[in-house]
Structure 1
Amino acid sequence: MIDTLRPAAAGTWTVLALQYARRTAVRGNLFHQRDERSAESQEVAYYVWLAVSQTRTVLIDAGISPATAESMDGLDYFGSPLQLLGELGPTPGEIDTCILTHLHYDHTGVVADLPAARYVVQRRELEYWNGPWAARITSEQWLHSRADTDHISFADRGGRLDIVDGDLELFPGLSVHAVGGHTAGMQVVRVNTRRGPVVVASDASHFYENIEDDSPFAILHALPDMYGAFDRIRELAAGSGTVVPGHDPLVRQRFPAVTDALGAHAVIIG
C-alpha cells in the first residue's frame, strides 16, 4: 500500500501520521499555565510519522516499545508502531532512516528493532542525555530510556548514526531544524509534499492548542526556547504549510484515513 503513495516527482514526499496508543490525562498536567480548565480531562494520542519519497522510507520517531507499554497504567496500546506500519506495507528492514526528534522514551521505544536504519539526532540532545546534567536532574529521568539512548549511541560504531548540529537538509525536500524547548536538543522535521510543506512538530507542540494559543506544554527543558520553537515552526510552515503536533487526537480528525483496514490508525498528512 505504501508504494502506491510514493510521489513520482523527485524531492516530493508523502507524510503519514500513525497513532499507536492513547490515554486520558488531566489538563493541569499537560499545560504549563493553569486556568479554569485545568481540572478537565483531555485525550493524549501517541504517534509516529512516516515520510516516503520515490526511493526513501523515513520513520520519524520510534514510539513506545511493547514492553514499556505493558507497564503503563491507563495506556490504550493499539500495538507496536512497527507492527502497525507493517499492515501498511513497510517492514522494519525497509526503513532506511529514523529521525529522532528527541530522546524521550515515547519517541525511542523501537529503535533497536530497525536493523538497517540510520539514526538522525541533534548533537545537543544526545550530549545532554549522555552528560552529567541529565543524571542530576531527577525530575526528567522518568522521561528517558537509557537502553534506547545506548543503542543509538553505539550505532555510531557501525556508521549508522548521523549527529546533526542545527538545521540540515537530509534529502531533497526533507530537512531537520533544531528548536529546543521541550528538550535540550529538540528538532522538528520539514517535508515537501504535493500539498505544500508539512512541519512535523512532534513534541515542540504537543497539541494544536500549544502553538495556536501560544500556550506551552507542562514538561519543558527551557521555557523561552519553547516559545522560540513555536515561532520557528510558524516560520517553517509559512504560507501553505501544515503543522502536525505530537500528541493531538485531532490529527486523525483533520486528515483522511489511509485505509479502513483494522488496526491501521493512519492518516495522510500530505
Structure 2
Amino acid sequence: MSVWEVHAIKYADRNARIRGDSFIFDDNHDAPHAMDYFMWVLRRGEETILVDTGYESEEAAARDRPIRLDPVVALAPLGISPDAIRRIIVTHLHYDHAGGLHLFPDATLHMQAAEMAYATGPCMCHDTLRMPFTAGHVCEAIRRLYSGKVIFHDGDAEIADGVTVHRIGGHSRGLQAVRVRTAAGWLVLASDATHFYENLWLRKPFPIVVDLEDMLDGFTRLETLASRKELIVPGHDPLVRSLFPAEGAEHVFRLDHGPTRENPL
C-alpha cells in the first residue's frame, strides 16, 4: 500500500489573542496566545488533494484579520495551480477553512452532510453560532452543489486509498477530521477538532463550540484514529512549525515523517 506526502501550508497568523480565546476555564486566561492558520496538501504521485482553502484578502479586510499570503500564492512553492485542484476536503464551512473555495472552481468538494445542514439551518439565526461563517462562502458551496461538484458524507468515508474522513462535530456540527496513511503511520489532520495541542493533550475545550460533549468525545476519537497520539496535527497551533520541518519555503511544513519530538508540550 502506497503512502501519502502531507504538507501544512501556513497562510496567516493572529497574535493579538489571549488564552481565554483558546481555552474554557483557563486559569491564566489573560496571557497572550497566538494562533496560526493552515491549509493542508496531500500528495501521492500525480494525485493531489487539498484540505481546506483558507481565506483571501477580501475576507481578511472584512474581518480585520490580515493574511500573510493569498491561498493561491501560498500553494505556489509546491507547484500547485488552482486549476490543478480537482478534490477538496472541506473540514467545515467556517470562514478560515472555506473562504477560498471560489479560487478552485474545478474542484469537487467532500464534506459532511451535517455541516451543510447546520450552516443553512435554524442555528444560523443565532449571532454567536453564525459568527464564524460567511454567507458568500456557504453560497459558494451551494453553487458547487448545484453544479454537481459536492460529495456528501455521513460519518466515516473513504476519499481515496489511504485517505478517510471522520465526523467529529463539537466546534461545528459537521466538522470532519482527515486520516492519512503516511510513512510515519496513520496521521490525523484534526482541523478544528483540536485547535491546539493543549486542547487535546490536556482536555481543555475551545470556546467556539456548538456541542461541548461532541468536542470532548472527539478528543478520544482522534486518538483512536491516529497510529499514535503524536501524529494528531491540530488545526491552528504555532507549535506545528517547531515540531515539523519546513520544506521548500518558510511557510510550508512536511508532516508525513512525523514530528521531531514525542510530547509537543
Which bin holds the TM-score, normalised by the shorter protein?
over 0.9
What is the CA-CA distance between 1:174 and the residue it aligns to? 0.2
Q: Deviations over 1:110-131 (max 9, x none)?
A: 1011021110110001011111
Aligned equivalent of 1:210, options 176, 195, 199:
199
The letter for the 2-side match of 1:172 is: D
Aligned to 1:3: none
CA contact (8 A) 1:196 1:240 kept: no
Cα distance between partner residues in 2 of 1:240 and 1:181: 20
Cα distance between partner residues in 2 of 1:237 and 1:256: 20
Aligned to 1:61: 52
Q: Deviations over 1:38-61 (max 9, x none)?
A: 110011000000011123211111
CA contact (8 A) 2:123 2:129 kept: no
Cα distance between partner residues in 2 of 1:203 and 1:253: 19
The secondary structure found in structure 1 opposite 2:208 is coil
The share of aligned pairs that are identical, in percent, is 36
2:243 pairs with 1:254: yes
The secondary structure found in structure 1 opposite 2:129 is helix
Cα distance between partner residues in 1 of 2:104 and 2:155: 25
CA contact (8 A) 1:20 1:265 kept: yes
The secondary structure found in structure 2 opposite 1:46 is strand
Aligned to 2:216: 227
Aligned to 2:18: 26
Aligned to 2:161: 172
Q: TM-score, normalised by structure 1?
A: 0.91
- 5+ residue gaps, structure 2, are 257-265
CA contact (8 A) 1:16 1:266 kept: yes
The letter for the 2-side match of 1:242 is: L
What is the CA-CA distance between 1:252 and the residue it aligns to? 0.7
Cα distance between partner residues in 2 of 1:155 and 1:11: 31
The secondary structure found in structure 2 opposite 1:41 is coil
Aligned to 1:201: 190
What is the CA-CA distance between 1:238 and the residue it aligns to? 3.6
Aligned to 2:5: 14
Aligned equivalent of 2:35, options 20, 25, 44:
44
- 5+ residue gaps, structure 1, are 1-9
Aligned to 1:117: 107
Query: Quick check: 198-207 or 60-69, which moved more?
Result: 60-69
Aligned length: 255
Q: Deviations over 1:71-106 (max 9, x none)?
A: 343x45211122110132010111111111111011
Structure-to-structure mapping, 1:62-211, within 5 angstroms: 62-73=53-64, 75-134=65-124, 136-211=125-200
Q: TM-score, normalised by structure 2?
A: 0.92
The secondary structure found in structure 1 opposite 2:131 is helix
Cα distance between partner residues in 2 of 1:76 and 1:161: 29
CA contact (8 A) 1:125 1:185 kept: yes
Aligned to 1:7: none
What is the CA-CA distance between 1:133 and the residue it aligns to? 2.2
Q: Deviations over 1:136-181 (max 9, x none)?
A: 2211222101111111112122221011111001100000001111
What is the CA-CA distance between 1:183 and the residue it aligns to? 0.6
**Runs (4+) of structure 1 moved beyond 4 Å?**
none
Cα distance between partner residues in 2 of 1:239 and 1:219: 27
Cα distance between partner residues in 2 of 1:28 and 1:255: 26
Root mean square deviation, CA, Å:
1.4
CA contact (8 A) 1:121 1:164 kept: yes
The letter for the 1-side match of 2:242 is: Q
CA contact (8 A) 2:40 2:52 kept: yes
